[in-house]
Structure 1
Amino acid sequence: MKPRAFVPEKLDLAAFIHDGAGLEGEWPAASLARLADSAAPEAPADGWPAVRWSLQGETRQPKGGKAQAWLQVAAHAQVALTCQRCLKPVHEAVEVDRWIRFVDTEAEAAALDADSDDDVLAMPRHLDARELVEDELLLALPLVPRHEACPEPLVQSADEAVVEDEEAAPHPFAALAALKRGGGA
């Protein structure tokens, strides 16, 4: 019997998991539009290495229970985000390795997800693996990207420079106040 061919962009998830199938590949980082939107302006996603990904379906049979459908999603990407300290590109390696359990209905998924540490979703008829991988990579991005040590000194904004100049320069009425205190007018 010839094994089924699975297409990542329109994955028959139930059959994929039932067969214990696996898929892997690479996509250009720029083809993941939402991930590419996170790029630092000086380092666009078309210059990033390809995103490597893999999917593995598995059926687990707990003792005395109904068979469970699981999907392992793994991905690796090298991204360049804007450092929140120096505003220069900071290169980050983003790794994802997550198991997701699929159940029959949204209600069942909501109930199990609330009571479990596992990620639980309703089984879709077809799954776009590209979107799933991109979602997982977006969730793995650092909230505040920054260098451990910024490569260049921090740039001072014009507003900060004005505040420092005001603190260093004598207040224009300081001399008048001194005269008033000392002169007894």
Structure 2
Amino acid sequence: MDVKRIDAFAFARLGKEAQGSIALVRLARVVDGLPEQPSGEAGLVIWSVRGEEGKTGLLMGQPLLRLHVQANPVVICQRCNAPFAYPVDSEVLLQLVKSEDDLDDGYSVAEQGDGYDDEDDEDEGKDSVANLPEKVVGSHHFDLLAQIEDELILSIPYVPKHDVCPGAQANASEASEEEPAVKRPSPFAVLEQLKHKD
């Protein structure tokens, strides 16, 4: 399926599924400020989306989209300045709401019902307010591409860094080889000698 607009509410209600891929270079907001991205398979974003309705607690009957995004965008390491592929494998659950007014995390005790009890959450699994899905405004012309792009942007660190920079190991071994070279005396050692001359 080509990434396009979907009727998000019908997609969730009918439990539809879709998947596909798109070149990273087509996602202008993602690649803005990044180095050149690879072409071919290495430069693809693989995505899948599944519609569903909430089955328990606060999400009972709510329209949901489960979005999975995988990619390897090339970023610049902020430690060594070298480009490297940063693996993204992100799955997010989105709750569709009808308007921006509904985006507020307005899960009040009143909405949860008189019988709401924090302990009930433990029995029902991940349904506490903290674990509720992110809310997005759904529509009959929902921009799936923009949502995929948003998820990628959120998954790429603001300050990307290698776990271990490639040059770091080489520099460390070179430094240990060079160490036996002439060692300059510490200026403090010289002062120490002057102090004991008296």
Aligned equivalent of 1:17, options 1, 12, 21: 12
Taking structure 1 as the reference length, what is the TM-score of the superposition?
A: 0.69
Deviation for aligned residue 1:81 = 0.5
Structure 2 residue 115 is the aligned partner of structure 1 residue 121: no
Matched, 1:86 2:80: yes
TM-aligned CA deviation for residue 30 of structure 1: 0.9
Residue 100 (structure 1) shift:
0.6
Please state how far the C-alpha of 1:97 moved relative to its aligned partner: 0.1
| In structure 1, distance between residues paired with 2:138 and 2:87 | 30
Partner of 1:136: 151
Given the superposition, is the C-alpha separation of residues 122 and 89 from structure 1 closer, same or farther in structure 2, using an over 3 Å criterion?
same
1:145 aligns with 2:160: yes
Aligned AA for 1:137?
L
Q: Give 5+ residue unaligned stretches, structure 1.
A: 1-5, 154-185
1:36 aligns with 2:51: no
**SS of 1:101 mapped into structure 2:** strand
Q: State the Cα RMSD in Å.
A: 2.8
1:110 shift after superposition: 1.2
Whether the 8 Å contact between 1:103 and 1:120 is mirrored in structure 2 is yes
**What is the alpha-carbon distance in structure 1 between the residues aligned to residue 91 and residue 59 of structure 2?**
26
TM score, norm. by length of structure 2 = 0.65
Equivalent in the alignment of 2:51: 57
Q: Aligned pairs, how many?
A: 147
Cα contact 1:113–1:120 (8 A) shared by 2: no
Gaps of 5+ in 2: 110-128, 169-198
Cα separation, partners in 2 of 1:22 and 1:65, compared to 1, 3 Å: closer
**Letter of the 2:143 counterpart:** D
**Change in 2 beyond 3 A, CA 1:93/1:81:** same
For the residue of structure 2 that corresponds to 1:99, the secondary structure is strand
| 1:107–1:151 distance in 2 versus 1, CA, 3 Å | same
- Cα offset, 1:143, TM superposition: 2.2
